[in-house]
Amino acid sequence: MRLSPLPSPAATRRRSLLTLLILVLVLSSATACQRGSAQPEAADQAPDVAMTFAVSPDPPAVGWSTAVVTLADAHGQPIEAARVRLRGDMNHPGMQPVLAEAADAGGGQYAAQLGWTMAGDWFVIVTAELPDGRQAVRRFDLRVRTP
Ligand SMILES: [Cu+2]
């Protein structure tokens, strides 16, 4: 004779298995979301730093361009001895980024070669590791034309 409506051990096991399955699904979809979102840009730690980006030829065409980044402090003094990296991405998915490390050209100028692989809209994220240990990050949008 059954006195209590306690679930059978099998039912309990089924329920905890279901809970586990749901938990796994929730966690994996959260991870997928993170991965699917746009490349997280490193945080800008130096909003007081003035950064400019120039490219030649201007406007750039598919192929090689010379990019020059300038860095100046809040007083307009050039920032030298920074480490400047560039990452170019198109505004549509499925493209390989264009990466370059700029050479210190002196006077707060940093030069890099960027090889545009396709005509269209690009954005370049410039990350400058400053001598004071901070990181300046800026985004520059540009359109690359067909040669
Ligand atoms: Cu493209």
Task: State the residue range of the domain holding 17.
Answer: 6-37
Q: Is there a single domain that holds both residue 60 and residue 84?
A: yes
Q: Is there a single domain that holds both residue 55 and residue 126?
A: yes
What's the predicted TM-score (pTM) here?
0.73
Split into its structural domains, the chain has a count of 2
Q: What is the pLDDT of residues 56-95, one digit of tens each?
A: 999 999 999 999 999 999 999 999 999 999 999 999 999 9
Q: How far is the CA of 118 from the centre of ligand 1 (A)?
A: 5
Q: How far is the CA of 94 from the centre of ligand 1 (A)?
A: 7
- Residues with Cβ within 8 Å of 97's Cβ and at least 6 positions away in sequence, in order, are 87, 88, 89
In a domain, 108, yes or no: yes
Q: What is the pLDDT of residues 38-65, one digit of tens each?
A: 455 689 999 999 999 999 999 999 999 9
